[in-house]
Amino acid sequence: MTTQPARGMRDFLPDDLRRRDYVVGVVRDVDERYGFDPLETPAVENLDTLLGKYGEEGNKLIFKILKRGEHEASGQADLALRYDLTVPLARVIAEYQATLPKFFKRYQIQPVWRADRPARGRFREFYQCDIDTIGSASPVVEVEQLSAVSEILKELGFQDFIIRVNHRQVLSTLLTNAFVPPEQHSLVLVVLDKMDKIGPDGVAKELADEGVPEDVRNRLLSWIGAAFRPDWLNWLKRQFTIMDGPGEAGFENLREIVELSAQTAAADKLRFDPSLARGLAYYTGAIMEINVPDMAGSLGGGGRYDNLIGTFLGREVPACGFSLGLERILVVMSERKMLPESVVRGASDVMVTLWNSETRGDSLALATSLRAAGLRVDVYPEPDKIGKQFKYASGRKVPFVAVVGDDERKNGTVTIKDMRTGEQVTQPRAEAGQYLKQRAMSNEQ
What pairing do the DSSP bridges indicate for beta strands 413-418 and 424-428? antiparallel
Nearer to a copy of itself, 147 or 166 (CB): 147
Q: Is 44 in the site for a copy of itself (CB under 8 A)?
A: yes
Candidate residues 84, 138, 394, 415; the one interacting with a copy of itself per rule CB under 8 A: 138
The C-alpha atoms of residue 171 and residue 188 are separated, in whole angstroms, by 11
What pairing do the DSSP bridges indicate for beta strands 44-46 and 77-81? antiparallel
Q: What are phi and psi of 141, to 5 degrees?
A: -60, -50
Residues paired with 286 in a beta bridge:
167
Within 302-321, which residues bind a copy of itself (CB under 8 A)? 312
Question: What are the CA-CA distances from residue 4 to residues 1, 9, 13, 253, 331 (Å)?
Answer: 9, 9, 13, 50, 22
Candidate residues 198, 281, 347, 441; the one interacting with a copy of itself per rule CB under 8 A: 347
Within 376-395, which residues bind a copy of itself (CB under 8 A)? 376-382, 392, 395
3-state secondary structure of 116: coil
Question: What are the CA-CA distances from residue 53 to residues 17, 68, 76, 86, 87 (Å)?
Answer: 32, 24, 20, 10, 8
Candidate residues 224, 375, 402, 432; the one interacting with a copy of itself per rule CB under 8 A: 375
Question: 85: Cβ–Cβ under 8 A, 6 or more apart, which residues?
Answer: 41, 108, 110, 112, 128, 130, 323
User: Which of 169, 164, 170 lies closest to 276, judged by CA?
Assistant: 164
Q: Is 4 in the site for a copy of itself (CB under 8 A)?
A: yes
Candidate residues 143, 163, 212, 436; the one interacting with a copy of itself per rule CB under 8 A: 143
Q: Is 438 in the site for a copy of itself (CB under 8 A)?
A: no
Q: How far is the CB of 276 from a copy of itself (least distance, A)?
A: 24
Nearer to a copy of itself, 72 or 423 (CB): 72
With contacts defined by CB under 8 A, name the span among 111-119, 154-162, 209-217, 286-294 that binds a copy of itself: 111-119
With contacts defined by CB under 8 A, name the span among 133-141, 190-198, 325-333, 433-441 that binds a copy of itself: 133-141
Q: How far is the CB of 44 from a copy of itself (least distance, A)?
A: 5
Q: Is 343 in the site for a copy of itself (CB under 8 A)?
A: no
Nearer to a copy of itself, 184 or 264 (CB): 264
Candidate residues 263, 411, 424, 434; the one interacting with a copy of itself per rule CB under 8 A: 263
Question: What are the CA-CA distances from residue 35 to residues 97, 131, 214, 259, 401 (Å)?
Answer: 19, 11, 50, 22, 44
With contacts defined by CB under 8 A, name the span among 103-111, 326-334, 412-420, 429-437 that binds a copy of itself: 103-111
Nearer to a copy of itself, 218 or 438 (CB): 438
Nearer to a copy of itself, 276 or 432 (CB): 432
- Judge whether 89 and 53 are in contact, CB under 8 Å: no
With contacts defined by CB under 8 A, name the span among 213-221, 275-283, 356-364, 411-419 that binds a copy of itself: 356-364
Cβ contacts of 299-307, under 8 Å, gap ≥ 24: 299/153, 299/161, 299/324, 299/325, 299/328, 299/329, 299/332, 300/129, 300/149, 300/324, 300/325, 300/328, 300/329, 302/145, 303/168, 303/278, 304/141, 304/142, 304/168, 305/86, 306/137
Nearer to a copy of itself, 49 or 176 (CB): 49
- Judge whether 233 and 165 are in contact, CB under 8 Å: no
Q: How far is the CB of 429 from a copy of itself (least distance, A)?
A: 12
The C-alpha atoms of residue 197 and residue 203 are separated, in whole angstroms, by 9
Q: Is 248 in the site for a copy of itself (CB under 8 A)?
A: no
Rg (CA), the chain: 28
Candidate residues 58, 111, 246, 310; the one interacting with a copy of itself per rule CB under 8 A: 111
With contacts defined by CB under 8 A, name the span among 84-92, 162-170, 186-194, 212-220 that binds a copy of itself: 84-92
The C-alpha atoms of residue 89 and residue 55 are separated, in whole angstroms, by 18
User: Which of 10, 6, 14, 78 lies closest to 45, judged by CA?
Assistant: 78
Q: Is 210 in the site for a copy of itself (CB under 8 A)?
A: no
The C-alpha atoms of residue 159 and residue 269 are separated, in whole angstroms, by 10
Q: Is 19 in the site for a copy of itself (CB under 8 A)?
A: no
Q: Is 441 in the site for a copy of itself (CB under 8 A)?
A: no
Q: Is 6 in the site for a copy of itself (CB under 8 A)?
A: yes
Residues paired with 428 in a beta bridge:
413
Nearer to a copy of itself, 95 or 215 (CB): 95
Q: Is 411 in the site for a copy of itself (CB under 8 A)?
A: no
Nearer to a copy of itself, 113 or 223 (CB): 113
The C-alpha atoms of residue 246 and residue 275 are separated, in whole angstroms, by 19
Candidate residues 35, 157, 199, 225; the one interacting with a copy of itself per rule CB under 8 A: 35
Q: Is 348 in the site for a copy of itself (CB under 8 A)?
A: yes
The C-alpha atoms of residue 79 and residue 66 are separated, in whole angstroms, by 7
Q: Is 119 in the site for a copy of itself (CB under 8 A)?
A: no
Q: How far is the CB of 407 from a copy of itself (least distance, A)?
A: 20
